[in-house]
């Protein structure tokens, strides 16, 4: 897996094709991830598809880890979504949540085939429903209060370490 790195601020993270962010710290120019999406070209092999799914789940776990630091009591109610688009016509939605202390559970929320012919247009409803599920899960994470910094820590030591998690990146 490739890693992206910001050498100036020493932050690392996995490269994903699409990140859903909330930029709430405009003074400090920080962003907080809400969900992730990976897109692979047609004819992608099993290794590429598995690698993309692994990246998505790792990034979603990083988001969930930060939520745990903020509010451990309510974090079991949240599921961080990850959408994988494979080729021209397949979409799979995953989510990861905390089932128990230190027990993460990844769930395949649904898979659909995007219609590529007018005779299959009646199946487009499944695509819309999957995308709405992704949107609603992302909004739930956003409403949970992930703002790019730990609200329980001082602003002096928040996110100033060399080991910043991948969900926080300088913009």
Query: Is residue 35 assigned to a domain?
Result: yes
Query: Is residue 76 assigned to a domain?
Result: yes
Rounded alpha-carbon distances, angstroms, from residue 111 to 47, 60, 70, 90: 19, 18, 32, 7
Phi-psi map region of 102: left, alpha, beta (phi>0 left; psi -120 to 50 alpha): left
Report pLDDT for 160. 37
Instruction: List, for the chain, all residue ranges whose pLDDT scores fall below the cut of 70.
Output: 1-32, 72, 145-171
Look at the chain and report how many structural domains it folds into: 1
Query: Is residue 124 assigned to a domain?
Result: yes
**What would the pLDDT profile of 86-117 be if each residue is shown by its tens digit?**
988 899 999 999 888 889 999 999 999 988 88
Query: Is residue 10 assigned to a domain?
Result: no
Q: pTM to 2 decimals?
A: 0.67
Query: Is residue 158 assigned to a domain?
Result: no
């Amino acid at each position: 897996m490739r890693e992206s790195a910001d050498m100036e601020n020493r932050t690392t993270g996995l490269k994903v094709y699409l990140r859903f962010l909330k930029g709430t710290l405009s003074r400090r120019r920080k962003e907080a991830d809400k969900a992730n999406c990976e897109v692979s070209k047609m004819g992608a092999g099993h290794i590429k598809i598995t690698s993309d799914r692994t990246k998505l789940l790792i990034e979603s776990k990083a988001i969930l880890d930060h939520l745990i630091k903020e509010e451990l009591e309510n974090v079991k109610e949240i599921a961080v979504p990850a959408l994988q688009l494979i080729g021209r016509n397949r979409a799979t939605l995953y989510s990861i949540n905390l089932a128990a202390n230190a027990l993460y559970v990844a769930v395949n929320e649904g898979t659909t085939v995007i219609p590529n012919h007018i005779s299959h247009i009646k199946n487009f409803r499944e695509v819309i429903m999957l995308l709405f599920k992704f949107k609603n899960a992302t909004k739930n994470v956003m409403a949970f209060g992930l703002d790019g910094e730990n609200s329980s820590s001082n602003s002096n030591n928040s996110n100033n370490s060399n080991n910043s998690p991948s969900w926080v990146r300088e913009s």
